[in-house]
Structure 1
Amino acid sequence: MIVTLTANPSLDRAVTLSAPLRPGEVQSAASSREDAGGKGINVARVVAAAGVPALAVLPLAADDPFGVALRSAGVLIRPVPIRGHARANLTITDPAGVTTKLNLPGAALDRDDAAALVEAVVEACAGARWLVLAGSLPPGAGDDFYVTVIRAVRERWAGAAPLIAVDTSGEALRAAVFDGHPDLIKPNEDELAELTGASFPDGGLPEAVLAVARTLVPEQAGAALVTLGALGSVLVTADGGFTAAAPRIPVRSTVGAGDSALAGYLLADVAGAGPHERLVHAIRYGSAAAALPGTQAPRPADLPSGDPAVAALHP
């Protein structure tokens, strides 16, 4: 079982244009779609589509229209009742795959809501292999909310606690890394730079990412899967660093590609794969998501053919 927490879910509205976006003008859209989104939910959708049990924990009001879209996605959920409604995020993609996103803040959590959400996650983790804490935090949660969840889960389950992956950014990521010490983080290069204060050169990016991630792994985080978009990904573990390039694909939407990469990594891990295979699986799932419109969850049949070559990185 892979459990995910999405504290700030979103109804993702994706609009595809037939021409580049022209700010300030009126344009007709070629198509549009709606998906139940939020990073943890995206991970759970991909995991479930691969036939692995997944449980998505989230705050959800009984009358929230988001619930209709979520239940149609076929994901097992554990909703925690709140008063507000899930936010709506808008993604606009032009024919070249250039994506513009508008993200709303989401429903606020009060102290009781936050405590109920933590307790629901703790209970859901019984027997789980992984817990994924993913996405931005809603108003009222506080930057240390993921740290609170990590500590509660580990205190309750001790040696039987699941491995914990964190995919967020900004102060929430900083707190999770330096106070929560997760088993895996999945930043992109910009999020890693913000976290560490590093700057990356135009050339030699995988090697530079390794050097920066090494300041965190394994003391602050057990491993780091750093997604680099079209350049592929870098995996840094206590035993070494590895990189692989992404396959060339027609990009339709990059929204959710990082979430799918994380899901691919976790799917390989629960199947007993080593670091090379986990990295390859992450890249194949991330690439498959980028080739689909909106925030669709890639299925095994959507994966690109062939495996990218993995190279070891050296400090």
Structure 2
Amino acid sequence: MTKGKLHDGARPTMADIARELGVAKITVSRALSSHSTVKESTRALIRETAERMGYRLNISARNLRQQRTRTIAVVIEMAPSHDRLMSEPYPLSLLGGIMQELTAAGQNMVLTTIDLFAEHPPSADGVILLGQGVHDDAAAAIEATGLPYVVWGAAHGPPEQIVVGSDNRAGGALAAEYLLGRGRKKLLFLGETQHGEVEDRLSGFEAGLDGGDAAVLDKIACAFTVAAGRDAVTRLFDRGKAFDGIFAASDAIAMGAIEAVAARGLAIPGDVSIVGFDDSPGASIFSPKLTSVRQDWAVGGELLAQKVLELVAGDPVESRVMAVELVVRES
């Protein structure tokens, strides 16, 4: 295959354009959606190359909107792994709410992942994206299609982006209030703040501690898994770090932290208090039962479906921030 040419009959993809120019696929995606993070000169070069290679995704998307498919694509940003399964409460609880609302509206749903969507976008009238990705990369890939879309996450993208999500800052503040109320002063935060939701949880947590004598001693980036939480806390113990409170960005991380603390013979919550985020079904049956910030995924799914259908219909739509609450248990 010569440079700039594809095999006969092959349809060019973003990956083909990226290889042609020696840039990342996400740069191509952002350039084709006129994302402000890509220089204008780079955008122009990518658009010219896409046209020369016969790339026609935006045209296809426009045609699909003119001839309705009565189908909504639900795109999951997370990559499934042995530690983080698609069968876990996230994303299943969100999917349940989405399916219920779409079915009631007589709409079909096609489920895919962000990588598959970027390469082979399905025929759909609109898109629901579950998870923005690091630095909003996943949302940029969806935007490149030209289809109306709604995101589950935090409002960190362009102001016109429609987002449904929980009040993550308020959730962080609730965690701070709880740990302060238990007299905890040496605190840890566990979570990857390159995700907008987690960044907001930490921001709210630190704001909730402001003015008091408690402090965040360490902020550990880790994936949304039990193993990641366990490993992060184990490493801190190995370094001789002393702490008496943990706020974890997800219940899975918090459960891993509990396992690591218990393995050192410390009592929970006697020696260390731990707060998670999500109030997933496992929080109430874990030992000890996990104190967690609750977000209502089922209602969130319904809202996502309602808003994407309103966008498809051309109606005015606004983002929605959902209230959270602290569910106090044993940890």
**TM superposition score normalised by structure 1:** 0.28
Normalized per residue, which structure has more helix? 2
Task: Give the structure with the higher percent strand.
Answer: 1
Q: Please identify the structure whose Cα radius of gyration is greater.
A: 2
